[in-house]
């Protein structure tokens, strides 16, 4: 996962390869250190992650029976927001599918639900025709039914992008630039390190952050000791957090985003060539 477009040759001009280090990996969250890059590239990646990477979500609901206290529209909205595990290999975006937007098995997934009260209807009650696409968080409550109330519907899930609706947003990315500290007064700096509760580390000459997730805390501490150190925010190194909402893994999300960026750059290149 490097930050270059595939057509740029290594070592050409001033170009430097971006380096990515993984700092922490959870199930649905990854924290990375990006070096030799800039905020323009990272912001492009961020916008592509929220707007351009397609994921599955319920888009159409046909109610046969709804006895619950919620209106059909309310339930449909809640169903749309349920995140479905997405298999990007076996589904196509509707507009690019062979059926030309009519809906077929390659672009549309049918889900059904049939429940009678008294009970809470959970996302796990949704019956999906494809075992690979199911609710990521099965304990999500959709609605509650009392004695004698029933809920019965058929739903269609499609691939879509965050540009169209927030339910298709696959995750969130945010980043902060890495602070570099220059010691101005050794005595004051020592005090600062002692106060920082091990967030700042010092080897006598240099001061560094031990935990990048506590950058804000360290900066506010430095503000209280203006004579101790000078802070410069790096313009090439960034700590990047990527969170997935469950449809795709962090790795898939990132590589898909880079693929989308490559495609769009190719498209731009072709358009420019046509210009006279």
Provide the binding-site residues for another protein, judged by CB under 8 A: 67-70, 74, 78, 81-83, 123, 136-146, 149, 166, 169, 172, 243, 245-246
CA–centroid distance for 34 within its chain: 17
CB of 59 to another protein, least distance (A): 15
**80-111: b (≥16 Cβ within 10 Å) or e:** bebbbbbebeebbebeebeeeeebeeebbbeb
> Based on CB atoms, which residue is closest to Zn ion, 97 or 145?
97
**To the nearest whole angstrom, how small is the minimum distance from the Cβ of residue 253 to another protein?**
14
- Least separation in angstroms between residue 51's CB and another protein is 12
> Nearest distance from residue 162's CB to Zn ion, in Å?
16
* Contact partner, 268, from another protein, Zn ion, none, Cβ < 5-8 Å per class: none
Using CB under 5 A, list all residues that contact Zn ion. 97, 99, 104, 106-107
Cα angle at 264 between 271 and 24, to 5 degrees?
Answer: 160
In the complex with Zn ion, which residue's Cβ is closer, 6 or 98? 98
Strands 229-244 and 171-183: antiparallel
Residue 93, φ and ψ in degrees, nearest 5? -65, 140
Q: Are 83 and 247 in contact (CB under 8 A)?
A: yes
Distance of alpha carbon 27 from alpha carbon 17, whole angstroms: 28
| Binding partner at 104 among Zn ion, another protein, none, C-beta below 5 to 8 Å by kind | Zn ion
User: 78 or 251: whose CB is closer to another protein?
Assistant: 78
Q: Measured from the CB atom, is 78 or 152 closer to another protein?
A: 78
């Amino acid at each position: 996962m490097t930050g270059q477009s595939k057509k740029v040759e290594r070592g050409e001009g001033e170009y430097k390869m971006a380096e990515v280090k993984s700092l922490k990996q959870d199930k649905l969250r990854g924290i990375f250190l990006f070096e030799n890059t800039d905020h323009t590239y990272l912001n492009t990646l961020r916008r592509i992650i929220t707007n351009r990477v397609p994921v599955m979500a319920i888009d159409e609901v046909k109610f046969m029976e709804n006895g619950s206290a919620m209106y059909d529209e309310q339930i449909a909205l809640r169903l749309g927001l349920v995140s479905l595990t997405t298999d990007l290999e076996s589904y196509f975006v509707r507009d690019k599918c062979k059926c030309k937007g009519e809906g077929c098995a390659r672009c549309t997934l049918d889900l059904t639900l049939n429940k009678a009260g008294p009970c809470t209807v959970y996302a796990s009650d949704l019956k999906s025709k494809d075992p690979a696409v199911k609710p990521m968080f099965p304990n999500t409550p959709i609605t509650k039914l009392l004695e004698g109330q029933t809920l019965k519907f058929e739903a269609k899930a499609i691939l879509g992008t965050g540009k169209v609706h927030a339910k298709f947003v696959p995750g969130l990315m945010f980043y902060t630039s890495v602070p570099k500290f220059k010691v101005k007064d050794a005595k004051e700096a020592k005090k600062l390190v002692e106060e920082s509760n091990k967030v700042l580390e010092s080897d006598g000459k240099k001061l560094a952050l031990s935990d990048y997730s506590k950058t804000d805390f360290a900066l506010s501490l430095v503000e209280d000791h203006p004579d101790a150190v000078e802070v410069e925010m790096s313009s090439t190194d960034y700590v990047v957090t990527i969170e997935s909402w469950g449809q795709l893994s962090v790795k898939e999300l990132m590589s898909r985003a880079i693929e989308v960026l490559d495609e769009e750059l190719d498209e731009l290149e072709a358009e420019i060539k046509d210009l006279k």
